[in-house]
Chains A and B, each alone.
Chain A
């Protein structure tokens, strides 16, 4: 449909968006491994991301290289982390959401169908609006895929993962087409069991104060972030609708202004020009709120879920450990298969302690990252709101100066 180089095309988003655009702030980006998405292409039903790596690690054949990846391959990588027992004690960076251009595409199609019923100017204007919307969605999906990779690259253990290296370096197709029906069904049941367990586990009080506090905190926080995320989306949508209305009002005033060359008509033309400009600013305000606030909340919705998943895994390990203890006691009482039970118990104990140790650190890091990310985005949000409001103010002042001077 549209070929989009990342930095080509209309600069719809603010300049602050160039360069590393992590919603999440990473603590350990260093020269040994740097990953970014340097380019992306949007085709009919898929997006192709160019993943660019710079590394001084000996694991890679070159110091700098790029491969092309699609969304399914990111999911494959994420799922491989989740399924890896060794990583049970880490917060697995949440998978990026699937690129969704359906709504945007539909609107563009409708526009094409309705071309005959509107003037050339109206059509061009609406087309520009929709293309800008498409571009914004596109940039967002790129950012979210990039954030995922950066999180992995910043994680001391995950960055060493072999699948990750293959993902970065192997320049052929990874052939990980979407899961087939059977696999999807298995996933479904896995999730059902997990949620039932989740309820069970949430009820068990933890001996360890730290984890008990975290559990309570995360359950509440996750729900509230979910709510805030949904509400921020609604608010921003209304904002966009209002900006669209102002756009149409500007066009209508322009038509009125071109009827004649009276004073009043000149007045209308000036006001129309003003509205054109202010509505561009309003659209940017909505877009910036989307990026700095809505996306932030969405991201922490996913991360807090990943943190909850970690707690769940730890709880399961605890349950397994407790069961192994019980089995050992039973075996000792019956004096049968004691060695087996002892080994099993030791394994469970070891697993549980390993998870607990790394989980503690992960949750502390999560908090630090979260605070830093909110700080960065809230500061940027406030600065952008101010920048746009001042821009608007200046436009209004200068326009009013002209309008009042002429009457």
Chain B
């Protein structure tokens, strides 16, 4: 589907990176392009233990309404929500030093005509979770339990799981707040109208005017509540939703490391079997076939020895990357949360300032009643 997403490219990299052709540039991308990018990146990078930022979820309901061309506020909100989420997604990708170097990312940012991404069905919201959980299941089914020489990984994994839980809870609460604020909005508008009607009926002139003024104040309050609800949602709720997904991606990393360990272990046990087979052959008394067989077996064993060494190296390397990635992630997360929550509080502050202005204007009207 085609949606014009005007995500302005935050390329502040400028001319320090020779790989980009110009300083600022923009391209048009479809939603499925973003999902396609994620798929490519996750296939390549997660093998190294990289935390690949997940894209926003597909939404059948939301998109259907927009397709139908409905101009109502909820469709507008949906499009804005998606635009903002895609912007955050891309910003996270480009702020990651390794991902920025990735040719797929550069192509995504620069190339005018991108081939259509296929197979993005897997990346609906449920699909993404399924992927993560499948990896976890594979890890859980491991028969050999890992002996961690260093508890950092275990502890960190536990922390991540706990935090994800907490954020889910918090997100549900903020969602509830958004809904109640929207309700308050509607009820305030209705109340304002009824106050205006009452003001019309009132036969004392000054009181009648004051009641109409009160109706106007309440109308302005409705506006404030509307903006506050938007702030609750776009700044707070979406922040939490992003990090719930990101923490899922972090868990994915840990699982990748486990798989690497698993591969190494399996290779080791296969090597063991090959060596046993080699030994058996040595003890068998078939001198004619012995030399040839011996050479074959030695080749196979050597190959497996090499694999074992490789997998061990891979495992160590992934371990280091995961550690580095997690530390980086935590720094980014702290920065993100702080800046977003401060933004949220500043919006609240402005709201209160305007509220004060409204009531200060009303007070003399109320006092003028005689």
Contacts and interface: CB of A to CB of B under 8 A. Distances in A.
Interface stretch (B245-253, B283-291, B341-349): B341-349
Contacts of B198: 221, 224-225, 227-228
B230 interface: no
Given A248-B173, A371-B204, A378 B366 contact: yes
Interface stretch (B46-54, B111-119, B177-185): B177-185
A221 B202 contact: yes
Contacts of B211: 374
Given A264-B333, A389-B355, A396 B201 contact: no
Contact of A228 (B180, B191, B353): B191
B363 to A, nearest CB: 4
B203 A245 contact: no
A59 to B, nearest CB: 37
B181 A242 contact: yes
Interface string B197-209: 1101111101100
A333 B206 CA distance: 55
Given A234-B190, A238-B183, A393-B352, A249 B345 contact: no
Given A228-B194, A249-B170, A220 B366 contact: no
Contacts of B191: 228, 231-232, 234-235
Contacts of B201: 217, 220-221, 224
Contacts, number: 154
A385 interface: yes
A369 to B, nearest CB: 11
Contact of B349 (A245, A246, A374, A396): A396
Contacts of B353: 393
Interface string B355-370: 1100110110011011
B90 interface: no
Given A253-B170, A375-B369, A400-B342, A238 B355 contact: no
A245 B195 contact: no
Contact of B366 (A237, A255, A375): A375
Contact of A403 (B184, B345, B356, B367): B345
Given A228-B197, A235-B187, A389-B355, A245 B180 contact: yes
A378 B198 CA distance: 14
Interface residues of B: mostly helix, strand, loop or mixed?
helix
B204 to A, nearest CB: 5
Given A386-B359, A404-B342, A245 B173 contact: yes
A237 B163 CA distance: 33
B162 interface: yes
B41 interface: no
B187 to A, nearest CB: 4
A245 B177 contact: yes
A379 interface: yes
B210 interface: yes
Contact of A400 (B194, B214, B349, B359): B349
B174 interface: yes
B273 interface: no
A77 interface: no
A167 interface: no
B210 A397 contact: no
B177 A242 contact: yes
Contact residues on B (Cβ < 8 Å of other chain), bracket? 35 or more
A259 B163 contact: yes
Contacts of B352: 389, 392-393, 396
A378 B337 contact: no
B176 interface: yes
Interface in B30-84: none
A158 B285 CA distance: 127
Nearest to A385: B359
Interface string A215-257: 0010011001101100110110111011001101100110110
A379 B366 contact: yes
A339 interface: no
Interface string B81-97: 00000000000000000
A338 interface: no
Interface in A371-405: 371, 374-375, 378-379, 381-383, 385-386, 389-390, 392-393, 396-397, 399-400, 403-404
Nearest to B187: A235
Interface string B141-172: 00000000000000000010011001101100
B332 to A, nearest CB: 11
B365 to A, nearest CB: 8
B338 interface: yes
Given A224-B194, A374-B210, A400 B203 contact: no
A241 B183 contact: yes
Given A231-B190, A241-B180, A379-B363, A249 B173 contact: yes
Contacts of A217: 201, 203
A262 B335 CA distance: 12
A49 interface: no
A249 B232 CA distance: 12
B204 A367 contact: yes
A264 B337 contact: yes
Contact of B341 (A237, A267, A385, A393): A267
B212 interface: no
B246 to A, nearest CB: 14
Contacts of B190: 231, 234-235
Interface string A271-282: 100100010000
B262 interface: no
A322 interface: no
Interface string B314-354: 00000000000000000001100110011001101100110
A252 B166 contact: yes
B188 interface: yes
A396 B170 contact: no
A274 to B, nearest CB: 7
Nearest to B215: A228
A385 B338 contact: no
Contact of A235 (B162, B184, B338, B342): B184
CB-CB nearest 10 A-B residue pairs: A238-B184, A375-B369, A245-B177, A378-B366, A235-B187, A231-B191, A264-B334, A241-B180, A228-B194, A382-B363
16 contacts: A224-B201, A227-B198, A231-B194, A235-B188, A235-B190, A238-B184, A238-B187, A241-B184, A253-B170, A259-B166, A263-B334, A367-B204, A371-B206, A389-B359, A399-B345, A407-B338
Interface of B: 159, 162-163, 166-167, 169-170, 173-174, 176-177, 180-181, 183-184, 187-188, 190-191, 194-195, 197-198, 200-204, 206-207, 210-211, 214, 333-334, 337-338, 341-342, 345-346, 348-349, 352-353, 355-356, 359-360, 362-363, 366-367, 369-370
Given A259-B159, A396-B345, A403-B345, 5 more contacts: A267-B338, A274-B345, A371-B204, A389-B356, A393-B353
